[in-house]
């Protein structure tokens, strides 16, 4: 990733307000060795900018996918919402 990662909550809010920054950050952390299909593991993928998603070149169902955070990110979500609420509480 070419950009400096945000260090404060204010920097993070400004940085992640840009969709391209969000995507680049998630891609770099989810696929450090390059984007690959979560279904079959193929690196033969094409990014569809218009739809903000990738499409796998292999022949199988569920060929389109996005770079959304992993499902096990409840702790990250709680830290994020706690940081955005007044006094760190909801």
Could you report the per-residue pLDDT of 48-57, keeping only the tens digit for each?
A: 888 888 898 8
Long-range pairs for 54-59: beta carbons < 8 A, 24 or more residues apart: none
Q: Residues 67, 26: contact at Cβ < 8 Å? A: yes
Residue 32 DSSP class: T
What CA dihedral angle connects 52, 1, 21 and 12, to 10 degrees? 140
pLDDT tens for each residue of 23-80? 888 888 888 999 998 888 899 999 988 888 889 888 776 677 766 655 555 555 555 5
- Domain assignments of the chain as residue spans, ordered by start: 9-85
Q: Residues 42, 58: contact at Cβ < 8 Å? A: yes
């Amino acid at each position: 990733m070419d950009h400096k990662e945000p260090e404060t909550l204010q920097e993070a809010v400004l940085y992640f307000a840009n969709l391209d920054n969000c995507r680049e950050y998630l891609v770099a952390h989810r696929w450090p060795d390059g984007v690959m299909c979560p279904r079959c593991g193929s690196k033969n993928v094409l990014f569809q900018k218009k739809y903000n998603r990738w499409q796998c070149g292999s022949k199988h169902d569920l060929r389109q996918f996005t770079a959304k955070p992993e499902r096990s990110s409840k702790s990250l979500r709680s830290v994020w919402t706690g940081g955005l609420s007044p006094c760190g509480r909801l």
